[in-house]
Every structure is written in C-alpha cells, then in structure tokens.
Structure 1
Amino acid sequence: MSNGQELLELSPVVPVVVVDDAADAAPVARALLAGGIRVIELTLRTPAALEAIEQVASAVPGIVIGAGTVTTPEQAKQATDAGAKFLVTPGCTDRLLEAVSGTGLPFLPGAGTVSEAMRLAEQGLTAMKFFPAEPSGGVAFLKAIAGPLPRLRFCPTGGITVGSAPSYLALPTVGCVGGSWLTPKDALAAKDFDRITALAKEAAALG
C-alpha cells in the first residue's frame, strides 16, 4: 500500500479493536480473517496495544495490521516499530501530521469538520477518517460536503453499527467504515472468537 486511498479499498468495514490482553490479539485477528475481513485497526488505548500489534504482525501475516488512536509523534514511531502497516489518527495537528507522514506508512488522518478536511486536502491528502462520525453529522454531513469537496473520500468511524453502515457505504465519497461492533467487549472477555467470526462474515457481506 502506498497511500491512504488504498486503505479505503481493503474491506467495507475496518474493525476498530481495543484489547486489554495482548494474548487475545492474534486469536481475534484470525477470527476476523476467517470471517472474510482482512484488515484490523488495533487502537492505542490500552497498555497492551503495542504488544498486541506485534503479536498480530508476527502471528497472523494474512491480515493487514494497523494502529488506531495515534495521537502523538511518539506513538506513530512506536506503532511503526511494533509492525503496524498503516496508521489512523482521530484528528491531526501539524506535528502529528509530520510524524505520521515521516513513517512512510499509509495513513488516514482524522477530520471532523469542513475546515479540517480542507486543511488536510491542502497538504495533498484525499483519504481521511471522518470522526466522530455520528456525533459530527453522519451521513447527512458527508452528503452536504460532497458538493464542495468531491475529491475527498472517507472512512467514517464513531457510533456506526451494522444497521447504519450500509447508508454510509452507499455514498460515493465513502470507501469503508470503521466499526467496533465486530469485537464486542463481552465476546472478548469470554474469548468467544466464533461470535467474532460470525460478525465478521456479516460485515464482509456489506461490500
């Protein structure tokens, strides 16, 4: 992958995964892969996240492993060193943009307003994360900005469900959606990986 646009084509749904135990990461990745999802975004929200990325990168080569919730330059480097193949940020400051760009990895910078999206476009970026999608206006917002900003494409994330995902995916400016519903907390706690595979199959069919 050479740019963020290619990230939008990997899967109709990008699982946004939070793990508290790094030992769960590889089984979760295998469960998603078995369901037809070949990408996973492990968020840097827990102390186990970097080790979890390492586990998936080494043990599940069939899935494209990325790091989400990258909020600092230090995290961008740490995630890259851990084996992440792409980076996702919830928003984007000048310093963070320089850092993620400097890793050489494809990335999706976060934007939640028209001005933020335009500012990223000025830097030559046309693929972005729209976050938080539902609180920021959802499908109606993306429809509204498609007129003035037709070249931009998005991965909306935040509050999206299996029920609302199709309305996002129907938009020409949406390449994929990010969703946490594929790996529910109770399924992870119970190590119910069969349930995760079933949810992955349902999500893969949305494409």
Structure 2
Amino acid sequence: MNLVNSSRRELIDFTTGQLTVFFPDGRSAPIKGVIEQHIDEALARLRHCINAVKTWEQDSFNYLHSSQYCTYLYFLANTIWRNTREIEVPTKLFLLNKLLNGIDMFYEIAMPDIFFIGHSTGIVLAKANYSNYLVIYQNSTVGKNHGAAPSLGEGVIMYPNSAIIGGCNIADHSIIAQGVSVVNNDIPGRCMVFSGRESVVCKPLKRNIIEDFFRF
C-alpha cells in the first residue's frame, strides 16, 4: 500500500511520537517496538477497508486524512490487543483516537473488516455486533441498555445524531435517518427509518443507497 507523505518507518515514528507527547511516561521505546511488530498486519487490514470505500483512492493511505487515520488507529490498537492481549499500547492508541478525532471506539470492539466513518466527532460505539459495509456519521451512538447490545446487519447507515440502543436487531440495509433513535426495536431491513409519533417508521428503500459508499 502506498503511504502518502511517509514511509513505514516514518509512520511508526509519527505514531510513537504522538503517544510519547500525549502520554509522557518515558515508555516510548517499548511502544515503538510493539507498533513495529504489529503495524504490517494493521496496515493490511486498513488497506482492505480503504479499497472498499468509493471516495478513497485504492491502495493509498494518508495519515493526514482524518477519517483514514482514525480507522488506522483503531486497526492498530485492535490488532495489537487481539494478538497479544496486552492493553497498555492499545489503551494509549484508543485514547489518542479519542483526543484527535473525538471518537469512542474501544480496541476490544470487533469492528467489521469494511466500514466507513464519515465524520468521527461525537461517535460512541459499544461492544455490539457489527457487520460489513457499516457507515457512521458524527454524533451517532451504538449503546447497550441494561446489558443488552444491538446487532447490526450488513449495509447499515447511521446518519448524524442517530442512535441504536439496547436489544435491537437491525437487519441488512437499514438506513437510520438523521436524529432518529432506535431503542429496543427490531428493524426489518432494506428500509429508511424515521421518527414516528409513538415509534419509528420504516419506509422501503427506492434504491440501494449503500452502493454510494462502497465498491463491491
């Protein structure tokens, strides 16, 4: 994959440098070693995701592209954690992502292989079940309710200020409109979800909107 404006070594140094500045505990040497060990796998996962997103140039990662860098920090943190169960570096990467991009996307969350973050600010993601071709915009929330977590099918889009909370089964190609909250409700799929007087209202899709976002 082409690393725009950096080499592999420079990306490692850049990521390590950010963690050193924000968490000045004198542990930059072990941090750098951990990143060096796992960055290739993380970049391979990132490449697969980038290549599926229509608006992004294939086989190209720019650390100055905020959505791409946000996704990179997640993949790096998650890769280190799932390979080692070590938590110090993943925790710092998670907190760095929160500081830079305003997103709460914990390293233990099993995000899908392919997803797209439109604007990261204000996004909060719980440990739920996520599927490929997920689109999330700013100020959206996926959360638990009394321990029950949602399950999201493929091709779910969450427009700004939307929420999916509790024991929800959100079927494939469900589009949650701006400002809509789905709480302990199942959504049948292939529909646009709007707010109603007493509950949400689902209207059939006239076209496959998810094709606007991804290469298939």
TM-score by length of 1: 0.27
> Higher helix share goes to which structure?
1
TM-score by length of 2: 0.26
Larger radius of gyration: 2
> Higher strand share goes to which structure?
2
